[in-house]
Structure 1
């Protein structure tokens, strides 16, 4: 290595490419993943799960939505192992290819009317592949940014990959809205939704072209040189008491973020159209506006987290989300599309930015470098089963149990906010690991405030 190619100088030279790669890569992955959630609330219940009862059709569509979240922990462990053993970059290339192929294949599926039960079976299989891919994507993309970040800017850099979620959601819902405006109802059901899925291949090629230019992170290279990679990261994650405690509390803290996002970005689509009677395109435009707001504010609250610590910022966002659940559903009862849209922009665009911006950096601090890909993936993806994947099902079931009244659902969502905030605050600052330096064991942990 020449004198001008130290890890530190490499980090300075590559950082712009790293951030662009992280944002575009996560945008493509989340675009693919959330296309399904949008379609589940709008067309899949009719095309793959026909039923005389709209609640049943919607819940069956959300069951397959949930399947992706079951696969995500498996993908997190699998790709986390690869990422901690051979590096972040090569792992991220693999996840992007897998996600793109699975999503494009969904756009080619026959419907229930054409092939019967084979249609939902194939849909579930492809959803499993999507789940495996996104299970390995998120942690790696965040780590590429956080482990390249200079001191004092960890949360700000770690927030940029989170922007990909907002852009991916906005791109998917925006394209669905455009197709809905351009086509009539039957055309949209016949082939319009398939166009959005087919475009995934184009986005994947763009993402790969940028991602392949990125070098491995300095923290990973340093760790490999000094101490070597972990043999079985998932086992080492639970061998040390502090790691076990951080992991458990991280799993609980995620309940708030996962429930919040999947209530306002996923459940709200079907609730507002089937229960509130709002026009589909009005709802999609509201979600798109919220996504743009979220994308703009995530870097802002990332900078706030550098000053106030990611842990405290995350806890604040979780608490505010819980407090606003009841007022939000009260506003929805007016059935005013404009008011409902403004509330969604506030909840998904502003409040969720407070939660989501510091989350990546916060979870990166839960484990040392040699276990970090696996540790972050485990916390984020395993918790996704109950925090994210089950939320539309639970909230829909609670609405049905309440005879259409939302107050049982509100009680559940308030509880998730409380659990998330309390769990985040219960993680001790002294138990957090530095995000850009190697921490071989619990005794060598460094302050994350540096």
Structure 2
């Protein structure tokens, strides 16, 4: 829009430095994903024992995963709420609110009574706080992605968009690393079950520690200034009264496409993190056989894989800026579909095969997740961008992440311990994403300030 580029007020507005943009988008999503992973790890390791003592290990695990998935249902609601605020009031204040909501909910989980202390009230409170976590994450990601992309230099939007994405692997490493240290300090004689000290109080430490991280994140975000794209939207008088109604009225196709763009990413993400931890720790000779690794061993293996997740998240940015988001993601999604077909030979090949499976899966995760930080915001104009990108990202969490661990456990049981059907499930979801990418168009050269 040429007239707005010469606006003296716009040119005189304070700008966020590149380092501030990178750090603000990275630190917030790292904290948010840390909080989410702390719950995901506890959902496998702790909550089946403390909040869902059904007497049946599989039932308890599925109950814990059901609560894990409940947060995904809350995420679109958070996307609508925080998207409304972000498109009407600005990105900065909205991001602060999302971060506070997530941090408070996570801290309070660390203070909850267990089922033995409070009966049914304990899992009920866990559900409420889990919903609050999902509600907050629904507003966090899109805001962080907008901070990165709306402040990016020309031709570097995908590169800058990878920094909020990098919060996912960093949050995983910090959360699981902390659990690993605590588990090592409070060792268990039974590799399939945490120690009594860990179950009594050790598991609470990662949840309570989130308060420290939130303080750091708030300090960074309070020092941001509003993005130029939003300021120009205000100056043009284009702020819409009801962003939700506007985005459905004018960009319904983009909402649907964006949702399916993320589907394979979400399924792969939660299969490689949440389901794999259950499968890796399950006894090799159990009722539903797994890989038989101890918690400490398998988490260390996962952390090695997540390092590749982080590396290839950053690698994906320059690729997407050079070749385009759509072209890059089409090839990566084909790779994910093929990956789902080869789970059995990888996971049947001992330690080397399992390690290769983790590295390959997390590498594909980085390559598919990285470009989304630019792609989804680019689908929508500035006046509905927070709402539109947030809804697409988080509705996909219901179709993908909310049900992925639950479906995976059911397919694992169906296969009597074989991961074959779980891999097929991933491949089918990848085909749906591939179709959506083929139906969509390239967004690399759109005007982010329009």
TM over 0.5: yes
**1:63-118 deviation digits (Å, cap 9, x = unpaired):** 00001101000000000000000000000000111111100111111111111111
Q: In the alignment, does 2:208 pair up with 1:198?
A: yes
* Local SS of the residue matching 2:17: helix
1:436 aligns with 2:448: yes
**Deviation at residue 332 of structure 1 after TM alignment:** 1.6
Displacement of 1:423 in angstroms is 0.8
Contact 2:343 2:423 in 1 (8 A): no
Is the CA contact 2:342–2:423 (under 8 Å) kept in the aligned structure 1?
no
Task: Quote the residue 1:238 is aligned against.
Answer: 248
- Find runs of 4+ consecutive structure 1 residues off by over 4 angstroms: 3-13
| Residue of structure 1 equivalent to 2:118 | 115
1:418 counterpart = 2:431: yes
CA contact (8 A) 1:154 1:435 kept: no
Instruction: Give the C-alpha shift of residue 410 in structure 1.
Output: 2.1
How far apart in 1 are the matches of 2:337 and 2:9? 46
Quickly say closer, same or farther: Cα 1:319–1:99, change in 2 above 3 A.
Answer: same
Equivalence for 2:278:
270
Q: Is the 8 A contact 1:28 1:204 kept in 2?
A: yes
**TM-fit CA distance, 1:269:** 0.4
Distance 1:13 1:252, change over 3 A: closer
CA deviation profile, 1:416-446 (whole Å, cap 9, x unmatched)? 111112212211238x8825221xxxxxxxx
RMSD of aligned alpha carbons: 1.8
Which of 302, 314, 319 aligns to 2:317? It is: 302
Q: Aligned to 2:98, which of 95, 99, 118?
A: 95
1:29-71 residue CA offsets vs partner (Å, 9 max, x unmatched): 1100111111111111111111332211111110000011010
Paired residues, what number? 431
The alignment status of 1:124 with 2:127, answered yes or no, reads yes
Which residue does 2:62 correspond to in 1?
Answer: 59
**1:319-376 CA deviation, whole Å, 9 max, x = no partner?**
2111011323332234x3453133212211x111110110121111111111100000
Q: Which residue of 2 aligns with 1:442?
A: none
Alignment partner of 1:279 out of 266, 282, 294: 294
Contact in 1 for aligned 2:16/2:224 (Cα 8 Å) = no
**CA 1:341–1:188 in structure 2 vs 1: closer, same or farther (change >3 Å)?**
farther
Give how far 1:166 is off: 1.0
Query: Retained in 1: the 8 A contact 2:42–2:203?
Result: yes
Pairing 1:373–2:380 present = no
Residue matched to 1:361: 374
Q: For residue 159 of structure 2, what is the aligned residue in structure 1?
A: 156
Instruction: Give 5+ residue unaligned stretches, structure 1.
Output: 439-450
Distance in structure 2 (CA, Å) of the matches to 1:292 and 1:7: 40
Structure 1 window deviating more from structure 2 (247-256 vs 135-144): it is: 247-256
- 1:297 Cα shift? 2.3
Corresponding position of 1:255: 263
| 2:341 match: secondary structure | helix
**Residue number in structure 2 paired with 1:292:** 307
**Normalised by the size of structure 1, how large is the TM-score?**
0.92
Does structure 2 retain, via aligned residues, the 8 Å contact 1:33–1:130? yes
Report the CA distance between 1:20 and its aligned residue: 0.5
Match of 1:352 in 2: 365
The Cα shift of 1:281 comes to 0.8
Within 5 A, what are the aligned runs for 1:4-43? 7=10, 14-43=17-46
Residue aligned with 1:429, SS: coil
Q: Is the alpha carbon distance of 1:102 and 1:13 closer, same or farther for their aligned partners in structure 2, counting shifts above 3 Å?
A: closer
Q: Is the 8 A contact 1:41 1:58 kept in 2?
A: yes
Partner secondary structure for residue 151 of structure 1: coil
Q: TM-score, normalised by structure 2?
A: 0.92
Cα–Cα, structure 1 residues 5 and 392, in superposed 2: closer, same or farther, change >3 Å?
farther
Change (3 A) 1:89 1:95: same
CA change 1:359–1:235 in 2 (3 A) is same
Change (3 A) 1:5 1:204: farther
Say yes or no: does 1:76 pair with 2:89.
no
Deviations 1:137-170 (A, max 9, x none): 0000000010001111010011111001110111
Q: Distance in 1 between matches of 2:329 and 2:11?
A: 29
* Inter-CA distance 14–111: structure 2 relative to 1 (3 Å threshold): same
Structure 2 unaligned segments of length 5 or more: list them: 1-5, 188-194, 283-289
The alpha-carbon deviation at position 407 of structure 1 amounts to 2.1
